[in-house]
Amino acid sequence: MNVHAGTGAGMSGEARRTDPRSFAVKGLGMLTQLALPLGLASVTILDDGDVGDLIAYFLPVVLAVIGANFLFAWLGWRRFTYQVNPADIRVESGVVSRQARSVPFERIQDVSLEQRPIPRIFGLVEVKFETGAGGKDELSLAYLSEAEGERLRELVRSRRDGETVGMADEIRSEPDSELLFAMGPRRVVTFGLFEFSLIVVAGFAGFAQQFDFLLPFDLWDFDEWQARLAGPGRWLAGLGFAAQVAGALIAAATLLAVGFGTGLIRTVLREWDFRLERTDKGLRRRRGLLTRTDVVMPVHRVQALRIGTGFLRKYFGWHRLGVVSLAQDSGNANHDVAPFAQMAEIAPIVATTGFALPPAGLDWQRGDRRYRIDRFVLGGIVLGALAIALAFSPRPELLAIPLVGILAIALVEFHDWHFSANALDPRQVYVRRSWLSPKTSIASRVKLQSVEIAQGPIARHRGYATLHLGLAGGRLSIRGIGQERAGKLRDAILASIAKTDFSELV
């Protein structure tokens, strides 16, 4: 129970403790961490035989360790209090050394609720206050009852919005909401199949390479392979071509299964029962199978939108919509609001955020061709030098690799030039970038913070530039555009920034 239970609390500063069950949850958490060492210890000790004698010593130690665990968890819980004051939230913690932290409401960008598996069984949530300090320094209260978490969130929101009088009574725990986007099991599984993870496959292959000492021969030494095939170890050649092909297919299939499996599992765990709603406080997103998160993003704090797709999924019309906001997803550059959706589903969400998708007749401008040519030439010089060096090396046939590389650079740069573009309309800046998977950023012109034109020595000589736009909570740059275009974009954007002060935006 809380030190002061009840709903009317919160106006004055009353020190409250977290939910008492959280001490049990934390004790359990520590116990699971202890389970492995204890298990190992018991195996080694009990292996020695003479069980009855040893257990007399061993059991009290185990019990003492477990007891100490719960004692510390309990002490920590006793000494952790939080206090909701008129202007800030204050947290005091620490058993031996005490810390007091105060976070003013004005600085709290957002409050998110997170439920990990064990607290979820007890109906507890972890309340995280995002201050924009980023990651480790964020304030979090673990764990509160679901109702208390919801109450705190509403309280902070209302305080921030400046309604300070008596809102504690007016808070509705479930404000009227409108479902904007949801993903059922079928959609999540489809999504998971597209999340085929090349990195995991590469990692798995690397792992296989690391542990190939378990094999009786060196898998990666082709010379030795040739020797084996030619020499007395004709066994593989003797198996026949079909068997070799079958072996290679089995290896490839294993890697594919690993790639699809991890993608599927990760996606299902993260995106299960994805729901995006529009509430009067902003966009509310809930997702997750074991760890369920509940995040509300105030609409007026959305700085920009990012729409992306994938190499393969673009042919099926699947897109991802993220918002760049002052408060960030933990470690992630943007909040996913629709990770896997058709454009028809994305359009209403975009409309809700107050942004607009690129209109049909928009004047898209490509980047400067000279920028791409220079990049190709620079890459070509490096790889060309490598090719020449290889031509005089003992293995001149390797020459083909840098030559293919030069060709690849030419293709990439042409493709990138062809599909990357930027556009400006009276309200928004659009930046489209593409290498295999097109990404479009849509930023509101008034919500930008600064404009920088940067030029390296080659760029200055050739007359192109990179435009860096200061975006709160994210990055937005337009690379390799003609300097006239850069100057024009800068003037237009600065003119719209100057019309609105920052305080009217956030």
Of 35-43, 166-174, 361-369, 462-470, the segment contacting other proteins by CB under 8 A is: 462-470
Sheet with 88-93: strands ordered across: 15-17, 81-84, 88-93, 99-104
Site for other proteins in 187-206 (CB under 8 A): none
Q: Which is closer to other proteins, CB of 234 or CB of 460?
A: 460
Q: Which is closer to other proteins, CB of 309 or CB of 325?
A: 325
Cβ(208)–Cβ(357) under 8 Å?
Answer: no
Q: Which is closer to other proteins, CB of 201 or CB of 497?
A: 497
Of 104-112, 270-278, 309-317, 475-483, the segment contacting other proteins by CB under 8 A is: 475-483
Q: Which is closer to other proteins, CB of 85 or CB of 455?
A: 455
| Nearest approach, Cβ of residue 462 and other proteins (Å) | 13
Would you call 314 exposed, middle or buried from its count of C-beta atoms within 10 A (0-12, 13-18, 19+)? middle
Of 172-180, 181-189, 421-429, 456-464, the segment contacting other proteins by CB under 8 A is: 456-464
Instruction: Name residue 294's beta-bridge partners.
Output: 113, 286
Q: Which is closer to other proteins, CB of 78 or CB of 460?
A: 460
**Is 461 one of the binding residues for other proteins (CB under 8 A)?**
no
Q: What is the DSSP string of 89-127?
A: EEEEE-SSS-EEEEEEGGG--EEEEEE-HHHHHHTEEEE
Of 158-166, 241-249, 392-400, 451-459, the segment contacting other proteins by CB under 8 A is: 451-459
Radius of gyration in angstroms for the set of CA atoms belonging to the chain, rounded to a whole number:
29
| Nearest approach, Cβ of residue 429 and other proteins (Å) | 13
**Is 137 one of the binding residues for other proteins (CB under 8 A)?**
no
Please give the Cα distance from 179 to 388 (Å, whole number).
Answer: 61
Site for other proteins in 476-505 (CB under 8 A): 476-477, 483-484, 486-488, 490-492, 494-495, 497-503
Give the single-character DSSP code of 475: E
Three-class SS string for 336-358? Answer: EEEEEECHHHHHHHHHHCCCCCC
How many residues touch other proteins under the rule CB under 8 A: the total is: 41
**Is 472 one of the binding residues for other proteins (CB under 8 A)?**
yes
| Nearest approach, Cβ of residue 443 and other proteins (Å) | 11
Of 205-213, 346-354, 428-436, 473-481, the segment contacting other proteins by CB under 8 A is: 473-481
**Is 460 one of the binding residues for other proteins (CB under 8 A)?**
yes
| Nearest approach, Cβ of residue 417 and other proteins (Å) | 21
Query: Which residue's entry shows tokens 């190499």?
Result: 311
Beta strands in 265-368 (DSSP E): 274-279, 282-287, 292-297, 302-308, 319-325, 335-341, 365-366
Please give the Cα distance from 470 to 450 (Å, whole number).
Answer: 5
Q: Within a 13 Å sphere around the CA of 323, how many CA atoms are in the beta-carbon half? A: 29
Q: Which is closer to other proteins, CB of 116 or CB of 335?
A: 335
| Nearest approach, Cβ of residue 267 and other proteins (Å) | 28
Identify the CA nearest to 170 among candidates 181, 157, 189, 183. 157
Identify the CA nearest to 21 among candidates 86, 118, 102. 118
Among 10, 259, 367, 473, binds other proteins (CB under 8 A): 473
Site for other proteins in 61-80 (CB under 8 A): none
Instruction: Name residue 100's beta-bridge partners.
Output: 92
Quick count: other Cβ atoms within 10 Å of Cβ 323?
26
Q: Which is closer to other proteins, CB of 217 or CB of 502?
A: 502
**Is 365 one of the binding residues for other proteins (CB under 8 A)?**
no
Among 108, 180, 302, 471, binds other proteins (CB under 8 A): 471
Cβ(467)–Cβ(451) under 8 Å?
Answer: yes
Please give the Cα distance from 100 to 152 (Å, whole number).
Answer: 19
Identify the CA nearest to 319 among candidates 193, 437, 415. 437
Residue 482 amino acid letter: G
Q: Per-residue contact track with other proteins, 421 to 450, x per CB under 8 A?
A: ---------------------------xxx
Residues 6+ positions from 312 with CB-CB distance below 8 Å: 194
| Nearest approach, Cβ of residue 131 and other proteins (Å) | 13
Would you call 429 exposed, middle or buried from its count of C-beta atoms within 10 A (0-12, 13-18, 19+)? buried
Site for other proteins in 302-341 (CB under 8 A): 326
| Nearest approach, Cβ of residue 397 and other proteins (Å) | 40
| Nearest approach, Cβ of residue 502 and other proteins (Å) | 5
Q: Which is closer to other proteins, CB of 61 or CB of 333?
A: 333
Structure tokens at 431: 């930046």
Q: Which is closer to other proteins, CB of 171 or CB of 472?
A: 472
| Nearest approach, Cβ of residue 309 and other proteins (Å) | 24
Structure tokens at 150: 């919801």
Among 474, 478, 479, 480, binds other proteins (CB under 8 A): 474
Quick count: other Cβ atoms within 10 Å of Cβ 169?
7
Q: How far is CA 265 from CA 138, 257, 270, 337, in A?
A: 29, 12, 9, 20
| Nearest approach, Cβ of residue 463 and other proteins (Å) | 8
Q: Which residues bind other proteins (CB under 8 A)?
A: 326, 448-457, 460, 465, 468-477, 483-484, 486-488, 490-492, 494-495, 497-503, 506
